[in-house]
Structure 1
């Protein structure tokens, strides 16, 4: 069975469970899945109920699609994402993005927890992603090209849609809180970076570092979606000042920042 048929099979299975056509796709990162609980008139489908769909294995990632309405807009949210470091291929990691495209989405909002490499940041900040460095060593578009979905050699000069970046800034200002902007360095994980690696990534232009998002954004841009990326800066990853870090610390900061994050994303959705 080829991947195009698998994508269509998955989309058809979801359509049999919900007749809502979502216009906005949400990928909710570590500790940020609570936003999906605010979706109204929702249908919840665990990943293992969807043909060919990869299953999330990480603590803090529920592992279900939630389809319904949020801020007056139809949405489909991944409550828990798939990661390259879980042993999936990048093609499997972005499989849900292709499925959401077939469900009807036109906009993709991708969130994550990230380490801040910019000394002007602090833990608890939200950073709107303006660009990325793909340091994973792979690309989700490697392999058989599905010409029905996008070009063989997609342009990535505006992978993060400028009008959505401007909208995020506008919404933050309306709610009277500041947000950072910067370049996200995507790594494979699962190990956190060494001090030398962090210094290297910062010297290459990275402002934050994390283990997700880049594959999904590449796929979304390939598919012609308008894409917005938002990082929750859960810790400072300054190579010269690096301290031991655990997933529990990341989750604690993500949970503490959750109200501001939810306010920002809901404000963006209401105006998309």
Structure 2
């Protein structure tokens, strides 16, 4: 059996387990919770949870702040699939587990993927603990998760990503933030591979490219999702200023601490936004 055939079997088997756990719910919305934002998973009503390790081919995270659990239930009354944690490309050279995760929720019936992450701000007006709606991205990971033989069962060889981050869904989230009185900036997210934080020179380079926030995730999931026909919307929780833009000492513990400070607004935003997504 080829790697691609194994992958297709894993997607099918994982989707079947998700549908079985969902019962009659039939969620159309899936959410990926980033570093320090996993508390939202506890807000899922009547949740049925499945560890990633029990879903064939799913990525098992190795980083603190990523629980590696899929939950199915209702958020604010809306049926959802919540993916609590992700595996980053700095943890692996293998794109298949991440492809399996995204494609399995699509095969299980999801139509929209809501991505979240912890990110560093590249702009003085986007402050720590505030939120940023992702309007576009720059892929500086040095790889694309769709590289290699195309999986024709899931999508075309060449996928346009002009509107990778769906403008209509973004407008709905922006309107919800306004109604809730939540500060929600808009901007371009640039993904570096990590696991080292960026140098001050790299931050200046990213600013020159027009990026507004920097992180190590979300772009791969977005590309996989668009390839298989999922709509994508995303929000960054700003946990620090980019290297060289402040005196703060960057660390993962610092990221998790500041993500917790922004988690309240993030949860309020998502709980309201699920009604319009």
Partner of 1:172: 177
Q: Which runs of 5+ in 1 are unaligned?
A: none
Q: How does 1:18-33 map to 2 (within 5 A)?
A: 18-19=22-23, 20-33=25-38
Q: 2:215 aligns with which of 210, 219, 228?
A: 210
- Residue 63 to residue 195, structure 1, CA distance change in 2 (3 Å): same
Distance 2:76 2:21 in 1: 22
Distance 2:217 2:99 in 1: 11
Distance 1:94 1:70 in 2: 25
Other structure's SS at 2:116 match: strand
Deviations 1:215-261 (A, max 9, x none): 00011111221211100010011535464311111111110111110
Q: 2:12 aligns with which of 8, 24, 31?
A: 8
- Residue 171 to residue 240, structure 1, CA distance change in 2 (3 Å): closer
Partner of 2:197: 192
- Residue 240 to residue 26, structure 1, CA distance change in 2 (3 Å): closer
Q: How does 1:34-113 map to 2 (within 5 A)?
A: 34-113=39-118
CA contact 2:129–2:262 (8 Å) conserved in 1: yes
Normalised TM-score (structure 1): 0.96
CA RMSD, 1 decimal: 1.4
Shift of 1:125: 1.1
Distance 1:240 1:105 in 2: 39
Shift of 1:181: 0.4
Shift of 1:74: 1.3
Partner of 1:142: 147
Is 1:262 matched up with 2:267?
yes
Distance 1:186 1:213 in 2: 8
Q: Which runs of 5+ in 2 are unaligned?
A: none
Deviations 1:78-109 (A, max 9, x none): 11111111124233223211110001001110
Other structure's SS at 1:198 match: helix
| Greater displacement, 128-137 / 4-13 | 4-13
Distance 2:122 2:176 in 1: 25
Other structure's SS at 1:245 match: coil
Normalised TM-score (structure 2): 0.94
Distance 1:92 1:142 in 2: 14
CA contact 1:195–1:242 (8 Å) conserved in 2: no
- Residue 188 to residue 160, structure 1, CA distance change in 2 (3 Å): same
Distance 1:89 1:250 in 2: 25
Other structure's SS at 1:270 match: coil
